[in-house]
Each structure stands twice: as C-alpha cells, then as structure tokens.
Structure 1
C-alpha cells in the first residue's frame, strides 16, 4: 500500500492553502478544460482529495468518480455540498479499480510524483488506461524538475522564502527522488515543518509510460491556458489517448 502523507494534520489545513492552484480563476480554467475533454462522458479523478477540482467539475454536469488514499482528505470532500454524491474508492491510485468505463481520467497538481518509484508510476498509467473506453483520454498536470537551478554537487533549491513560509526542494539526481520541505510560521517565533517525498519525472518519460499502457500523446501544454510548452516551461499539462 502507498504510504499516506495526507493524513489528518495535512488534511485539516489543505483547503486553507494560499497556493495559486486554489485561486478560483485557476480552478475555473482547469475545470473548463476538463469538462471539454470529458465531452459529456464520465470522468475519473485519481487522488481526488478534498474535491478542489472534482466538485466544480461535477457541478458542470460531468459524472465524476474518484480514487483517494487518505480517509482524512475524503472526509473533507464528503462534508462539502455535493461531496457525498461523488463515488470514491479508497486506496492506491496505481492499484484500485472502480466500476464503469470513462472518457477521461485525470491526475492534477504534481500528484503523479507522490508515487515514489518508476514501477508505481507505470502502474498508475496502466490503471488509468484500464478505466478508459477506447479513444478515452488520460491527463496529467505536473511540474518540470528545476534541476537547472541546482548547482553541481548541491541538493537543495529554495523555491519560496517569506516571513510565513520557507519552501525548500531537495533532489537526488541519481534516483530521481526528491522531497519538498515546508516551514510554516505558527505564532511569532515558532515554525512547523512538514515534508513529503516525491519522484520527479520528465515529460519524455511520461510519454514512454503512456506507450507501455497502450496510449499515445495527444497534447502537451505549458498550462491550463493551452499555451505552448517550451524549454522554459516550469510545468505541463499532458494528454494521452487510449488506442
């Protein structure tokens, strides 16, 4: 079973994040794209969490189902209006099957990196493909590894430094293991640390995983606005189609 790094302490403050992914305009743009890709067909969200994307997509009339490892995150989803109406299977998104056939499976906000081995990431692609109808689409949103910012021989990159939050990414360039370390201010003098491991993955590597799972590349954008993906892009939204 995949380790759960999104238990009660994380779930309790997850929706309070000031990260740009929670900006209503960003959510709206994300849901616009997903609703268009679903095209009236059911959609499955891997790692549906507290419903940041799944709930507004459901309100668009898309029949959304989910897979979620964390019971604590799922409890937040269930407590929200409409959250109890979304079928969610509890377990590892690389392993768990849910009933039905889907036109769209999607995995957003760097969550593919929560699978910390290449084998697990490949199984996730295979599981996504197993849920798709022929011609169905699998979408992944994930960052591009910031290795160009990493001096030779160093492991750490500071990605944010404010009075309230210090964020540091740690890289192992041999194994593709990384961790994000967060120091969040609590009160005047106290900081709370939280860390989570990831496996960073390159766009070309994801294309190979898709091929193994019987899917072919369809789109790769730099963001949800469908802008061009370039060498300077810090993230991408990639879509593959089941053949």
Structure 2
C-alpha cells in the first residue's frame, strides 16, 4: 500500500543515502553542483524532488540559496537532520503543481526525477509550473536518462540493471504507455524483500515540446554534467531551458 509519501516512504528513505549508485560519488556530485552554481548566476534555486539533499546541501554550501519541493516527508526529514539541512526550506507537495511563493533564477530536476510524474499531462504541467516560478532569463535544468529501449530484442521488455548473490534489479518497459517499473530484490539473512517503483520515461524531443508549450526554449543539451556533447550514443542528457527575458 502506498502512503502519503508515495513510493519514497520510510523504507526507501532510511536506505537512500547508503546507495552504491554512481550518483553519490563525490566527483559526480561536485561536477553537477559546479554546473548548477554557475547557472544560478548568484540567484536563488528551486529543486524539484529535493529528497535527502544529495545536491541541495553542497549547492547551498557554495552560497546558493536553495529551496525545494518534495512529496516525501520521510526523505525531507533526513535532509533537515543533516548539518545545514534545517536552513533549506522545503514545501511538501507534488512538484507538477505545488507553488512556492518566490521566483527563481534556477529550477532543476536531477537523476530522472521528472520521470516520477507518471503521465504526459503531469510532465507538461511540471514545465508550466516551472515557468511560473522562473524569473525572466531564468533556467530550468533537467537531468534524465535516455530510455534504454535499444537494449531490448524484439518481443522483450525487461532490461537487467545489476545482479549479485543477494541483490537483483531490472526495469520493465511498456512501449504502449511509455511507462516502466524499476524492480529491486534483496535477500538479507535468508529473507527476501521486493520493491517496484513506477515511472514514465520521456524522450529528449518530447521534453523540448513540453518546454515550448510552457514558453521555454532549449539553450543547451549535454551528454552529462561535464558538458560534453550529446550524441546518438549518449545514455543520458542534461538539458537547459531558458525563460525569455521579454
């Protein structure tokens, strides 16, 4: 049963910062924060799905004033318990529609967070909500994976993520609805635990159209936080959308 924190309740929150994913490596975090601090250009920033503060805390340490929106009280509680976390104001709610009473020079959504919105309508609404939060000339940064459908042979829909003697993970794609589920199995002391989290994958060109509908325009697209070129071989992208000055 899904509670008020959605799919990121206490069970996920207490393990989130122990993850072995590359997204927690200091070099990855530092590079992302460098880019975001540069794009904030001395203004304030709003993170969508701020979670436990993986990006928000080091960005605030760079002198950027950061606020956040997140549905999960359990994740936000861990952010606020960390050094410096209590200084970051977070509004609890759905970031496709929740309003924060301020305007920002930077709004950002990292590590596939936009795919937590599981319909195209919600993703379009997110772009429109972002546009309302941005000051003229402000930027919206989206980091998201390119759907891994090229890994699927004809007639298949499962992409393995990783395996070990005690852990398995795999994604299940549905091409008709652009939905996928990330599934995790972990065995501890002979007992198994299974979790499935649903998402909606989205293509770069689709995000560009969403931006146009919200009055934003694409200014840059990179293959990652090092700002290297985005190509047909890229597995993810960091896209920067701007709100026109006039």
Report the equivalent of 1:91: 93
Q: CA deviation at 1:2?
A: 8.9
Which residue matches 2:240?
239
Task: Extract unaligned runs of 5+ from structure 1.
Answer: none
Given that 1:146 and 1:234 are in contact with CA atoms closer than 8 Å, whether structure 2 keeps it comes out as yes
Once the two structures are TM-superposed, the CA of residue 30 in structure 1 deviates from its matched residue by: 0.7
Instruction: Select which of 17, 23, 26 maps to 1:24.
Output: 26
| Bigger mean CA offset, 125-134 vs 154-163 | 154-163
Q: How many residues align?
A: 242
Residue ranges of structure 2 left out of the alignment (5+ in a row): none
Identify the residue that residue 152 of structure 1 maps to in structure 2: 154
Which one is further off, 177-186 or 5-14? 177-186
Q: Which residue of 2 is the match for residue 221 of structure 1? A: 222
Residues 143 and 239 of structure 2 are in contact (CA less than 8 Å); yes or no, is this contact kept in structure 1?
yes
TM-score by length of 2: 0.96
Taking the aligned partners of 2:4 and 2:37, their CA distance within structure 1 comes to 29
Is the 1:95–1:123 contact (alpha carbons within 8 Å) kept by the matching residues of 2?
yes
Q: Give SS of 1:105's match.
A: strand
Cα offset, 1:18, TM superposition: 0.6
Seen in structure 2, the aligned counterparts of structure 1 residues 14 and 216 have a Cα distance that, compared at 3 Å, is same
Question: TM-score by structure 1 length?
Answer: 0.97
- The answer (yes or no) to whether the contact 1:65–1:87 under 8 Å persists in 2 is yes
Contact 1:108 1:141 in 2 (8 A): yes
| Per-residue Cα deviation, 1:50-72 (whole angstroms, up to 9, x for no partner) | 00000100010001000010000
Offset of residue 167 of structure 1: 1.2
Superposition misfits of 4+ residues, deviation over 6 angstroms: none
Give the structure 2 partner of residue 122 of structure 1: 124
Q: SS of the residue aligned with 2:36?
A: helix
The DSSP-based 3-state class of the residue aligned with 1:194 is: strand
- What is the DSSP-based 3-state SS (H/G/I as helix, E as strand, rest coil) of the residue aligned with 1:49? coil
Question: What CA distance in whole angstroms lies between the structure 2 residues aligned with 1:50 and 1:26?
Answer: 16
Per-residue Cα deviation, 1:2-24 (whole angstroms, up to 9, x for no partner): 97100000001000001000011
* CA 176–238 in structure 1, closer or farther in 2 if over 3 Å, else same: same
For 1:87 and 1:45, the matched residues in 2 are separated by 11
Matching residue within 141, 166, 173 for 2:168: 166
Native 8 Å contact 1:222 1:233 kept in 2: yes
